Amino acid sequence: MIQLELQEDKINRQVHYTYAQAKDIEGTYPLKNNSFVYNRAPDGYLFQLVELDISCSCEAGVNVGIVEMSDGHYYTGWNIWAGVENRETLVRIETDVYFVNFSKSLHSWECKEYTIATRSKKTDAPFKTCCIVWYYLRKMSPLEKYQYAVIQPKGEHIRKAGATTVESTEE
């Protein structure tokens, strides 16, 4: 198998098609209408996030929901526990009939990993989006490697907390 060399000077994109089922009226945790997509930069690199483009179809107010992008792995479950907040939010968008396409600058935010969370706001319809994350890869210094090993460790045991659906795109 040929290994492609990672290009640091070229802009990259990651496309995520997210799906959150219709809102659970019961409100029991874990809420079934939450969906999480997780992505981690390759070993030795950081994401330098440029922009997040979001598109969803909204016919007669059916495809309505919330999209949130966070630095790191998302644990809080949309503030489900009292006093627990996600203070790493980079972008939060609520779609409706009038606003279905968004483009948000991420101001070259640097992170090792990010999470895109989606949530349906309707009880009778799912929420479907296409999220495109634009980024550059930047090589990490030895000190940053140690820092992120502590702050955002790469461990499968950590990813079991919270989310009802988690996809890891790093392999």
Q: What is the pLDDT of residue 64?
A: 85
pLDDT at 5 over 80: no
**pTM summary value:** 0.78
| H-helix or E-strand spanning residue 142 | helix 142-151
pLDDT at 76 over 70: no
49: left (phi over 0), alpha (psi -120 to 50) or beta: beta
Supply the pLDDT for residue 1.
45
Q: What domains sit in the chain, N to C, each tagged with a CATH number?
A: 12-168 (2.60.120.380)
Residue pLDDT, tens place only, 143-165 = 988 888 887 777 654 444 444 44
CB 117 within 8 A of CB 68: yes
pLDDT of residue 139: 92
Q: What is the pLDDT of residue 131?
A: 95
SS3 160: helix
User: In DSSP terms, which residues pair with 80 in a beta bridge?
Assistant: none
d(CA 4, CA 1): 10
State pLDDT tens for residues 31-52: 667 888 889 999 899 999 999 9
**Predicted pLDDT at 114:** 93
